[in-house]
Structure 1
Amino acid sequence: MKSILVLEDGSVFEGKALGLTGTAWGELVFTTGMTGYQETITDPSYAGQIVVMTYPLIGNYGFFEEFTESERPALRGLVVREAWGDPQGGSGENLDGYLKRHGIIGIEGIDTRALAKKIKDGGVMKAVISTELEEEEALKLLHEVPALEDQELVKAVTTKEIKTYGREDGMPVAVLDLGAKKSIVKSLVERGFRVTVFPADTPAKVLVDFEPVGVVISNGPGNPKKADYAVKTTRDLLGKLPLFGICLGHQIIALALGANTYKLKFGHRGCNHPVKDLRKDKVYITSQNHGFAVDSETLPEGAEVTFVNVNDGTVEGLWIPKYSVFSVQFHPEASPGPLDMGHLFDEFIALAKGGIENA
């Protein structure tokens, strides 16, 4: 079935329907990973977005539930050059079937590298995928729907109830779930933590009364300033418990400290982003998925920048010894991507064991 992709700037791309038929709108972004599309599609941080896969062949291996990062995909739509219909070895669910089962609208047959270049040159923009609208109708819809930065997306992907994972005798750690990937919880459980996941709007008092050794402020979608409840919780936790922020959690910690955040032109998405560790003078390759960044000029005294992005110099890590808090903009759990930064979970263990007083 014919499908169209219409961009906010008036560009129109024709392709074939993939997944569910109908109409989807969202912010159009691209990711550069050559593999790991199952983890990408199920990453809650893509809520509100239409994701362009720049690698030209997607779906040559099947989908398996044990590798998903959430219960169901949160992205609005998917754009690929070619969707492979028959996974290698005949195992696992194919891409088209997986998208249909989860109600996700996609489009294939698009020159995704040209599309990525357009986004890189002009910045992210709203887009519509549709098998039912004419071009003029799609453009009209784009003028009516809100921009991603004006939407509150965290509450759509956070857990609705408190959940616990890991051994009964494990060290208790809390995760403030802003859209946490399963791999973050798994990484903590593997290191001996008993992990309790809390909804994004949980007040600080509830977390403190739980008496964890530390709190992870997780990744998640959208504009950090729209998650003001999470900023308040984090601000109220400062000085009470060790904190570790990941991706959106990094931005939330910065806002809680009184710093500012801003939207990037096209963001960092993929599993090949170079980051420099300023303390060790080493460069690591990292997995990333974010469209906002921390404004280094607004950081308060006592907040040390620990990592920077090699490509554009943006802030990729913070250390605040006064509060026993650290954060990173990238994903140490990867999934997909390199595992170069997994040791940060071990650093969190050391920090949590030492407590505030020994930071």
Structure 2
Amino acid sequence: MNIEEVFKRWKATLDRRYGQGFPAEFVEKAHENLLDAYASFDASGCADSQFLTELCSASANKSAQRLGEILLFERLKHAGYDPKPSPNSWGPDFLIQQDGKQICLELITPSTGDDVKINELFTSHDPLNPCPNAATELRQRTLLRMTAAIAEKLGKYEGYLRDGVVGSQDVLVIVVNDALLCPDVFFYGVSHNADAGVGGQSLAEHAVYGFGHSIWESDSEGGNYVRKSTFREIVDNRPEPARDASPRGPVPVSLFGTPVQPEAAEIAHRASVISAVLQVTLREDYGFMMLLREKAEIEDRLVEGLLRPGALVINPRAANPLYVSLQQGLMRIVDAPALSLKEAWDLKNRELKLLFGEGYKEQPFPG
């Protein structure tokens, strides 16, 4: 496959997801946005020697990882950063600078691997007739892919530290692109990311904070019920045996906590080098997100509310904390001034009026 065939594949994917419900010019513009993102990345010097080969690979996993690199680069550039590659192509995927600190971004796009059950669950899912057991199983299995991805990048970064490629004071953000953990339908990567975990929070939060199922408990007076999160240090692995026929061991999911169980405590100690995990969806739909982003920037800020920047999960035990200005930069997808309280209030009134119709009575600003 050559690069022109890759471009055609992107277009076919956009047609499949958006062609039935959106004007043809919208789909064409989204495709052009992807081509522009590719051209910008290609000219940046960030592509390594294997980039084009893997982008054009017949392997969906390799191609998705490389598309993720293109789109993460575009996102960082649009947020005002100047992402650079690691010297000699050995080190984190991107390096950015802010306030005198070097921030290392390691991108990984976890696939479903040999867990064929995930795709079966995606295929059988019927939103109008959901099956709670199937939904729970899907969330548990995709969580395992998320935890494996974070652990893989942690191990790789530890190698960079040993080799002196990065410094002990550098900030590490592991960027998990959940593109291959999403069903093949529209708006994943625009208004939402991969489906949440069993407790309702993002998969990344489940993977590092140890969230479990949410439960309803009565308050102290017994009159009202409140939803509370449960927590766990490890989760059961999937029941299928490993490739060597051995049983799969339990998986730690409290990397950013203070677990007691030895296996979970050991990896949590190692994970102190991770400042944060950013879960995003970087796939062909990003071209459509760029289209809406432009509308938010030059036409109507109301569109901004449709766009999902991802989930940034902070490590409270990080050796190098992720300071607030960097958190804001990494979550910035629309290049526009911050809204005043009055502007935000007026936008909310407009949004509610669109939802409830002309009968909605606008609420006056309390200031």
TM-score, reference length from structure 1: 0.32
Name the structure where strand makes up a greater proportion of residues.
Answer: 1
Q: Whose Rg is larger?
A: 2
TM-score, reference length from structure 2: 0.31
Q: Which has the higher contact order (CA 8 A, sep 6+)?
A: 2
